[in-house]
Amino acid sequence: MGKKKSKKLSNPFSTGGGGGHFEAQVQASFVALMLTAGSAPCIPNLPISKIKLQGKFAGYDTDDLIIFVEKPSSNQKQKILGQIKHTINITEKDSIFKDVIQAAWNDFNNDSLFSKGIDVIALITGPLSLSDINDTRTILDWSRQSETAEEFFKKVELTYFSSRGKQNKLQAFRTNLRKANNGNAVSDEALFEFLKHFHVLGYDLDLISGVTLSLLHSLLGQYSQENASFLWARIVDEVQSTNKNAGTISLESLPPDLKVIFAQKPYAVIPDEFSKPQISSAKPDWNQLSYSSDLAIANLLGSWNEQAKSDLDIISQLTSKDSASWLANMREILHQPASPLILRNGKWHVTARIELWQQLGARLFDDNLDRFKKSAVKILTERDPQFDLPIEERFAASVYGKVSAYSPEIRKGMAESLALLGNKPNYLTHSSQHKPRMTAVVAVREILNNAD
């Protein structure tokens, strides 16, 4: 595909002086991140090594700043091609958005300057309408989270999953990419790949009371006893001076006074007497706990979700107790030192299950195993309702209410317990001979009987 020449990107705000001020502030924010060893957006956890201003002189069409990031301990290198527009409308007919897409498309297809799958392109703006930025960012996030172009377009088109606003934003990208591609339509696959590399970042640096400036002042204040606003002005001044000459800013090229302020400070070291490893205490004997029998049932469950009503019903069946009182005992165990229970967002997990199986197996009796078998068969024969949907709609199963009655946690825990009963039955010393292993065998037979 031929490269269509892009024109110098400008807008009325820029020609009035405001655009240049906003551009310098955005560029300076990346310099501040570089000085403080921060990470650039879009490419997390990689420090900035240098920033090239006015990329036109280096052959880029996306020309306001090129941010180079590099991991010192490896050869991993990436870059962000940044176009700064204080005001823009992401629509089919907006001339500024058309020029931004033209420049981005040219660079995206320039293999000597842009590495697909590694580098990214960022449109950096001032204020956008809430619906404008939310709809645009959502479809861009969907493109990066979708495995294929077909899956992505299905999400955008699906009425219950998407919206007219998101569909309009996608059409704005499609229309302007066609214009950028010399009037030739861009395939769905090419559009999908372009969107995966494209980001929209909102900066409120045009406001003195803005959040971004406040955060930058707070960050800079960690490195200097001077007024943080003075230090920020010093960085902006250095950026404007370099910008006039279309230069490149790196740690090495900065003035000595700035480098001294941001020089690496020595780390404080914890004294040896405080950092010596403590002698580990003996492992707790969970068999001596007042709730040991309840913990034995918890280990038989393996994991569960206390927010799933069906899981609570199973707990009541296994314990012959009200699930709320049994969970209260679990919370008491949760606060014990070296507790074998973990609770996150209502989801419980038992750790060191084999160790607990050895310690608490004697607390499981025939009636416990009978109730367990009945519950395991009931849970593991439930057919996942997502398979009632066509293959292409199963990713949205939760939207359609096609979810299992039992949580994934309790299904996994029960399956693991069947394996423990079949392979480590000898620890259940108070159950009938062969009862644990036969419980597993019969349960598996009933679960798979008549299965498709």
The per-residue DSSP string of 398-414 comes to TTTT---SS-HHHHHHH
pLDDT surpassing 80 at residue 125: yes
Task: Record the pTM.
Answer: 0.57
Greatest alpha-carbon pair distance for the chain in Å reads: 89
Q: In the structure, what pLDDT confidence band is assigned to residue 450 with cuts at 50, 70 and 90?
A: confident
Tens digit of pLDDT for each residue in 8-56?
554 444 444 556 788 999 999 999 999 888 888 888 778 899 999 988 8
The pLDDT tens digits of the residues spanning 73-103 come to: 777 889 999 999 988 899 999 999 999 999 9
For the sheet with 347-350, list strands across it: 303-305, 347-350, 341-344
pLDDT exceeds cutoff 80 at 5: no
pLDDT at residue number 206: 79
DSSP state of 433: T
Tell which residue, 251, 233, 106, has the closest CA to residue 179.
Answer: 106
Residue pair 447/377 in contact by the 8 Å Cβ criterion = yes
Residue 119 has pLDDT above 90, yes or no: yes
- Share of residues in the chain with pLDDT > 90 (%): 57
Give the pLDDT score at 2: 54
> Distance (Å, rounded) from C-alpha 329 to C-alpha 347?
16
Rounded alpha-carbon distances, angstroms, from residue 348 to 8, 36, 298: 58, 40, 9
- Residue-wise pLDDT tens digits, 290-304: 889 999 999 999 999
pLDDT score of 7 more than 60? no
Whether the CB-CB separation of 22 and 126 falls below 8 Å is answered with yes
Token readout for 203 is 């900066």
397-408 pLDDT tens trace:
777 878 889 999
Using CA atoms of 393, 398, 401, 402 in order, give the dihedral in degrees to the nearest 10. Answer: 60
How far apart are alpha carbons 116 and 435 in whole angstroms? 60
pLDDT recorded at residue 265:
66
Of 38 and 129, which is predicted with more confidence?
38
Question: Two tokens at 303?
Answer: 């994991």
H or E element in which residue 70 lies: strand 65-70
Lowest average pLDDT, out of 100-104, 169-173, 234-238, 438-442, goes to: 234-238
Per the prediction, the chain carries an average pLDDT of 87
248-250, strands of its sheet edge to edge: 198-202, 120-125, 77-85, 65-70, 48-53, 248-250
Report the pLDDT value the prediction gives residue 258, as an integer from 0 to 100.
83
Q: Please count the other Cβ atoms lying within 10 Å of the Cβ belonging to residue 141.
A: 12
pLDDT of 313-333, one tens digit each?
A: 999 999 999 999 999 999 999
pLDDT-based confidence at 282, cuts 50/70/90?
Answer: low
